[in-house]
Structures are given as C-alpha cells and as structure tokens.
Structure 1
C-alpha cells in the first residue's frame, strides 16, 4: 500500500472533491426528485404527463449518455460551465428520476382516506401533500430511497471518470498513468476512499430507518 501512503495528500484531496460531488448531487436530486414525484401524483394531467416523461426518459437512459449530453450538448445551446458543474448536473438529472419513483411509491402507500380527509377540511393539493401525505410517506420511503442514494454515491465515480478532475477516480488515473504506480494498490486506495463515504452513509440510513420504524 506504499502508493497510497506516499500520495496520501492526493487521496485526501480526491476524497474531498468526491465528497463535494456527492453533497451537491444529493441536495439537488432530493429537491428535484420531490418536485417530479409531486408532478407524478398531481391531479393536473399536463403535470402528470411531464412527471411520467421525466421518469421514463432518465430511468431508461444510461448515466454516461446523460453526462455526454450535459457536457457536450448544453454548450451547443450556449450554456458553458465547468466539467464539475456538468458532471453534478448530469448526476442530479439521472438520480432524480429514481428518487421521484421512490417517493411516489411512498405516497401511494398512504391510505387514500388520509388525503380525502384533508380535502374535506378544505386543504388544497399542495397543502395536503406537504402536511398530511408526505410526512407519512417519507417513513415508508426511507429504505428504497436509501438504496437509491447509495447508488448515487457510487455513480459519482462515473462522474469523476468523465473528466471532472481532482476526485478519487482521477487520483487513481494520475497515479497509474502519469506516475507509473501499479494499478492494483492504487485503486484499492480509491475503493477505500469510496467505502469511507458509503459505509457511514449506509449506517446512518439504517439508524434513520430504525427510528422511523419505531415511530410508525
């Protein structure tokens, strides 16, 4: 493991950059996924159609294709940003479809009588969804949503390989191609870096799931 120890500063920088990708993508896909899920269950047909189109499109499109479109298609439309921006954007767009479906499944698990009771009290769709349905749905949605988010953490490696630079994956490439270190120990270090992100995140999600299960 001498390549890891000799280049620990590079691994730390790569770890922090990968963490930035994950944090920005996590916030973005949760917010966007919630909006898309609301569209999916909306009583307004055009919104439902838009939500269905979004989910169908991004769930059936490979992440690499989404990233290529963001990095090379958007500049053709006059949107010029860094590869970091495009990488995070692509990961948000791709993951939001899976987040939306997980949330929608949770919404559908709430008994219809809850929403009907809220409407009988004069609450509109948005208030019913926010104050009555979602608080109950989110308890059910923690396990599948956790799986989606862990997959997103691992997909951040694809974003790094796409050319963001400075992340864990790029660190491994630099050490093997530019500095001539052996591939196996270098990428064992990369794998350890990702495990330091995914394992604590998985443990935290299990704690949340247990607390939610007790509260149900």
Structure 2
C-alpha cells in the first residue's frame, strides 16, 4: 500500500471533483424525486377514478425494476426512441424515476396513517375533501413520513455510485481511474471513497435522528 502516492494532490483533487459531482447529482435527483414522489403519492391516496389506478401501475412498475436497468434505459434506450440524453441527464432521470416511485409509496403510507377519526371529524365540521386533505391529512402525514423519506435520500446518495456503469464522472468513476495507477493505491483509494460516502450519509442520518426527536417532542 502506498498512501503517499494514492493521496497525492492531483489524485485528491481529482477524487474531490468526482465527489462534488456525486453530491450535485444526488441533490438534483433528491429535489426532483421528492416533488414528483409527493405528487404521485397524493394522487394514489386520493383514489381518483382512472387516474389513481394508472399512477399506481406506474409507481409499482418503477419500484420493481432494477435501478441499473432504468439508468441503462435512460442512457441507451431513450436515444433509440429519438430522445437524446447526456450522461448526467440519464443518471438524473434513472435515479429520479426510481426514487420518486419509492417516495410515492412512503407518502401514500404516511397519509393513510392519519387516523380516520380525524378525517371524519374534519368532514363533519364542514370541510370539503380537498380542504381536509390540505389542512388535516397532509400536515400530519408529512410529519410522520419525514424520517423514511430522509432514509430514501440516503439510499439515493449511495445509489449514485451505480452511474459508474455509464461512465459518468462521479466519485466511483474517478476512483476507478486513480486505482489504475497500480495495486498499491487500491486500498487507500477505496478507504478514502468509503470515508467520503460515510461522511455524507452519516450527516443525513444525523438529520433523520434530529427530525425524529422533534417529532416525538
């Protein structure tokens, strides 16, 4: 093992550039998947004729497909249909579709966890279905679903490593290039990559715990 060679200034700069892209990719996918997932989850919960069942089929299909397949399809399948995607766009699309489906299920479950008595009380007091959903169900349900949603974000951050398969210049891709310098740098580089992933994910874990404490306070 050669830590000096592995952690040369050029190698560290190269790895941190990849880590920066990893964080940016995760951030974009998190924002998009959260917005889309919340919308899909509410539509499934609302049980709108025709629309809700269709949304349910889409969500269940995306949830039961391998994420790697979705990334491959976004990068190599869509261009065959006339939809051009670059590596970053394909990575965002694959991650967003998969995570939005996961978040949609979390949202639906969170909304369904709201006690029926509260819903019935709101309706009996004169609130419409939409008003009940907006003022009663959503605020209570969202508080309960925060920890599992943040857990999904942690999974998403780790899943960005799968985009190495389409040669996106994220952390794992850059790590593979550096490890090509020789077997003596493999362990130090993998150790550093593990530390970077751990630091990012542990930060999100601490956020989840803090939110759980506030929830129970």
TM-score (norm 2): 0.90
Aligned to 2:46: 42
- 2:34 maps to which of 27, 30, 38: 30
Q: Residues 212 and 77 of structure 1: is their aligned pair in 2 closer, same or farther, counting only changes over 3 Å?
A: same
- Residues 150-180 of structure 1 show CA distances to partners (whole Å, capped at 9, x for unaligned) of 1111101112343212x11111111022x33
- 1:16 maps to which of 3, 15, 20: 20
Tell me if the contact between 1:139 and 1:213 (Cα under 8 Å) persists in the aligned partners: no
Residue 79 (structure 2) pairs with residue 75 (structure 1): yes
Residue 144 (structure 2) pairs with residue 136 (structure 1): no
Gaps of 5+ in 2: none
Residue 197 (structure 2) pairs with residue 190 (structure 1): no
Distance (whole Å) between structure 2 residues aligned to residue 81 and residue 162 of structure 1: 12
Aligned to 1:102: 106
Bigger mean CA offset, 107-116 vs 78-87? 107-116
Tell me if the contact between 1:39 and 1:50 (Cα under 8 Å) persists in the aligned partners: no
Distance (whole Å) between structure 1 residues aligned to residue 119 and residue 79 of structure 2: 44
Deviation at 1:55?
2.0
Taking the TM superposition and a 5 Å limit, the aligned residue runs for 1:163-174 are: 163-165=167-169, 167-174=170-177
Residue 214 (structure 2) pairs with residue 211 (structure 1): yes
SS in 1 for 2:7: helix
Gaps of 5+ in 1: none
Distance (whole Å) between structure 1 residues aligned to residue 166 and residue 201 of structure 2: 20
- 1:180 maps to which of 168, 179, 182: 182
Deviation at 1:80?
1.1
Distance (whole Å) between structure 2 residues aligned to residue 70 and residue 128 of structure 1: 38
Alignment size in residue pairs: 211
Deviation at 1:5?
4.3
